[in-house]
Amino acid sequence: MNSLTPYISDKQSTYTAFKFNSLSNKKILLVDSDREFIQPIEALLTNEGFEVTICSDGVRALQEVNRIEYQLILLDIVIPNLNGFELLKNLRANNKTPAMILSSRDDIFDKVYALEIGADDYLTKPVNNRELLARINAITRRTQAADRLQVNKVFNINDISLCLSTREVHCQDKLLKLTGYEFGVLHFLILNAGKVVSKDSIGEYVHGRAVPYNDRSIDMHISNIRKKISMFVDGQKIKTVRGAGYILLAEAI
């Protein structure tokens, strides 16, 4: 039996608590083959005003996400035909739709690997309703940040060019394929170029919350950004300041 946390014991909607942004696109793709898990999650999201589409296998989900624009994809790892990891890797080849893993697998390797190949978040089953909604809200805020800022703004610093309107990053005219989370992290570092920023401040900006002490997700995202940048340009761009955080260097060294 799935021990999904009961949804708001009183009759007050979590919409009041989480205040989701007003969106023209409130479509979520839920990719999971466990009907016992799907049904309460679908009811929860529908109650929050989302239009939920369900796919029970990876191949059909990949076809669906390439056919329709979704605000978010929620996917399990263990699904038929194309597992969640393979689905995510195929998706990230040409699609930037935010994706959150919902899995009963709590192994650190799975979590790190999911982040490395493009997941924006990872939540272990059984999920808590409030935490799930809070994380969806955080992803929504992050991916809509460009709309609330100067969407035509282009930042050029230390061989890196970041465009808010297209949500694209180039290094010496070469496109970097960043996930939504990685884009948010790099954008925050660019906004604070030349200054040391803590992991907590990065987490607050891109994830809507400070990171737990033992959470290395931001470290992994920054490591991924470094690897992708190093494919096209030489020289250190993001420096680790031990005990303090990270700094995007204003000039190459």
Q: Are residues 66 and 132 in the same domain?
A: yes
- Distance of alpha carbon 137 from alpha carbon 24, whole angstroms: 15
Domain boundary among 111, 143, 175: 143
Structural domain count of the chain: 2
Q: Are residues 157 and 133 in the same domain?
A: no
- Distance of alpha carbon 188 from alpha carbon 192, whole angstroms: 6
**CATH of residue 22:** 3.40.50.2300
Q: Are residues 134 and 19 in the same domain?
A: yes
- Distance of alpha carbon 246 from alpha carbon 193, whole angstroms: 10
Per-residue pLDDT for the chain (253 aa), expressed as one digit of tens each? 333 333 333 333 333 333 344 344 689 999 999 999 999 999 999 999 999 999 999 999 998 988 888 989 999 999 999 999 999 998 887 788 899 999 999 999 999 899 888 898 999 999 999 999 999 988 887 776 645 555 557 888 888 999 887 888 999 889 998 888 889 899 999 989 999 999 888 887 776 666 666 678 888 899 999 999 999 888 889 999 988 899 998 775 4
Q: Domain for residue 227, yes or no?
A: yes
Structural domain range at position 189? 148-248
- Distance of CA 22 to CAs 15, 82, 103, 140, 230, Å? 11, 33, 28, 10, 38
**CATH of residue 242:** 1.10.10.10
Q: Domain for residue 92, yes or no?
A: yes
Q: Tell me, rounded to whole angstroms, the distance of Cα 54 from its chain centroid.
A: 20
Q: Are residues 25 and 83 in the same domain?
A: yes
Quick one: which H or E segment has residue 31?
strand 27-31
- Distance of alpha carbon 85 from alpha carbon 106, whole angstroms: 15
Pairing of strands 160-163, 154-157: antiparallel
Q: Domain for residue 4, yes or no?
A: no
Q: Are residues 125 and 227 in the same domain?
A: no
Q: Domain for residue 1, yes or no?
A: no
Domain boundary among 143, 172, 199: 143
Q: Are residues 110 and 153 in the same domain?
A: no
Q: Are residues 47 and 104 in the same domain?
A: yes
Strand, helix or coil at 152?
coil
Domain boundary among 143, 176, 208: 143
pTM for this structure? Answer: 0.58
